Structure 1
């Protein structure tokens, strides 16, 4: 290693230029008087004494001032490196404790021109879904997505699927989605995952080769609800329902309100007595509250026949033990009495 590289490394440990020169000179001598080091390094004798004290504190040299003249000896480099290594290792727990672990930022928008890449992105997005997936795809590519959709349903994701460009129900419709609808006309490909990630592509891009169209992949929490709103407002109502999955075995606790409403709807339609415990925020007092009772009504637009007054309206009405009626909404609720954080559905009254 040349002197320049060694000097640069020593600078990283807080050495000044003169300290580097003094230390390297001392290393070359092994042990020497202050006057010898001063002459060789081109600094004053007083400076050598001063620097030697600093280097001794750092564990680089030993100063023997019990003899005349004072002798300064460089410590064995192996000993110096061992001490530096120990110092660095001792910092590790403190650094890790203070380090805020963050995931690399995902690009908010990505433009895709190739059809095969769009299909790969759709598969990846489906695989990331944890609570809710709203998706519309043209019938020709549904086969490519079947295994990913089935896996999403199996892990408890609410999958709302529109297959466009066909009148026919897809094979195994109940296993690939919670609710499946079809529409004979082609519609834009739309994917929204947990209302945060998604993709939008023109209809032609996935059914025609070299369409010249482009898709957009987004990772933006503010945009997700807009895509979901468009899905429910413009396309879900005009498509025909062809399959609905069986309800979950209860009791189950849901943190995704739309899925809780969907399950409540299926169980109420089966003429079951359905009981619920809701944990959430009172929209009147803004305080945390818990309410239990029997579900007496559902407002929803997920499964036919719908009864909501605007596309994303979903709510439960609960009759409590004292016969009071309490309305429950999802994230951002303000019309209802409670904004739900978790909903536990059961077929018997809570203890």
Structure 2
């Protein structure tokens, strides 16, 4: 009769009941014929050869042919169980990687499909927030604002660079240290600095992460959302903080992408007033029919106004629109929730005429 405690532990390692009983019996016997192990292990006669073949494939026993038939040998358990452990760990790691990849693809597809009706959740672990930040940056297609502590930027610098190379307009705010850190930034990204700031990453209107930097907070929670309106609010919030922070690096390369006319006008108002010519590619929808539209043309006029004259880089205007000459006529282009303009823009790509 085999030791029930040992057989139970072997079953916890993944062996079946019969495999566990036969292996313990083989170790106890040292060397035995299969029929002898039937009596020692209580494994049925009709199953013993299959069970021993399984144990041999695991490397736990050796089957040798002798003058009186097969003989079962049990090598030192320390050696064979260590080999078994390494194989099981390798196999488990491979399974975890495969499952993780499959679930990540499923998660990404689900999250992408959620669109404007996306989720809102809270995360308490920084590593969880960092994973979402990396994912948000990778999904950015048009406009990305990144306000992070210096140590976190060093972790996501490659993702930011990749976004810039995809043509995404990036604005970067570094914080968390007393003085601007000695870091290297991509040449095409404008960078600003302030010693203390909340952690905010907002990609287009699709993905937002917010973590408060309150000095009295002992544990930081992170809001994570794919709800379009909340991401839009985060975009405006961090843009205001960015505008009022110290400049570290300027960048003004074209073509440049924007989410709406407001930021384009704020950036280029002086040049537009001087008569500089810009082209723009617009993606969005007609405000009357809601049908999708993509158009190209030349900016011939703009309007930006509010109840009082102010800095519309910080304060939101009531109206911010472009007039675009497409060659077939002129259309007015507003932001993503425009109702009075001809087109509500979801993204704009700027170029020189």
Structure 1 residue 33: Cα displacement:
2.0
Cα distance in 1 for residues equivalent to 2:301 and 2:346: 17
Task: Please name the residue that 2:349 is paired with.
Answer: 344
Report SS of the residue matched to 2:275: coil
Relative to structure 1, the CA distance from residue 133 to residue 76 in structure 2 (aligned partners, 3 Å threshold; closer, same or farther) is same
Question: 1:24 maps to which residue?
Answer: 24
In structure 2, the partner of 1:40 is 40
- Asked whether the 8 Å contact 2:281–2:350 carries over to 1, the reply is yes
Look up the match of 2:70: 71
Shift of 1:269: 2.9
Question: Which SS does the other structure have where 2:346 is aligned?
Answer: strand
- Given that 2:191 and 2:248 are in contact with CA atoms closer than 8 Å, whether structure 1 keeps it comes out as no
SS in 2 for 1:340: strand
Correspondence for 1:254 = 257
Spell out the pairing of 1:39-58 with structure 2 (5 A cutoff).
39-56=39-56, 58=58
Q: Which SS does the other structure have where 1:220 is aligned?
A: strand
Residue in structure 1 matched with residue 212 of structure 2 by the alignment: 199
1:307–1:224 Cα change, 3 Å: closer
Q: Which residue is equivalent to 2:189?
A: 156
**Partner of 1:333 in structure 2?**
337
User: Is 1:299 aligned to residue 304 of structure 2?
Assistant: yes
Partner deviation per Cα, 1:99-128 (whole Å, 9 max, x = no partner): 23869xx95479xxxxxxxxxx98469958
Q: Is the 8 A contact 1:132 1:193 kept in 2?
A: no
Report how far residue 263 of structure 1 moved: 2.2
TM-score normalized by the length of structure 1: 0.54
Mapped partners of 2:95, 2:235: distance in 1: 44
Bigger Rg, structure 1 or 2: 1
Going from structure 1 to structure 2, the CA distance change for 1:229 and 1:83 (only over 3 Å counts) comes to closer
Q: Distance in 2 between matches of 1:36 and 1:153?
A: 73
How far residue 268 of structure 1 moved from its aligned partner, in angstroms, is 1.0
Q: Supply the distance in 1 between the matched residues of 2:75 and 2:249 (Cα, whole angstroms).
A: 76
| SS of residue in 2 equivalent to 1:196 | strand
Partner Cα separation in structure 2 for residue 215 and residue 15 of structure 1: 44
Q: How many angstroms apart in 2 are the aligned matches of 1:87 and 1:246? A: 51
Aligned ranges 1:270-289 → 2 under 5 Å: 270-280=274-284, 284-287=289-292, 289=294
Q: Distance in 2 between matches of 1:144 and 1:83?
A: 49
Tell me the distance in 1 between the aligned counterparts of 2:71 and 2:62: 6
Check the 8 A contact 1:133/1:191 in 2, yes or no: no
Residue aligning to 2:14: 14
Q: How many residue pairs end up in the alignment?
A: 283
Where structure 2 has 5 or more consecutive residues not aligned to the other structure, the ranges are: 108-120, 126-146, 161-169, 203-207
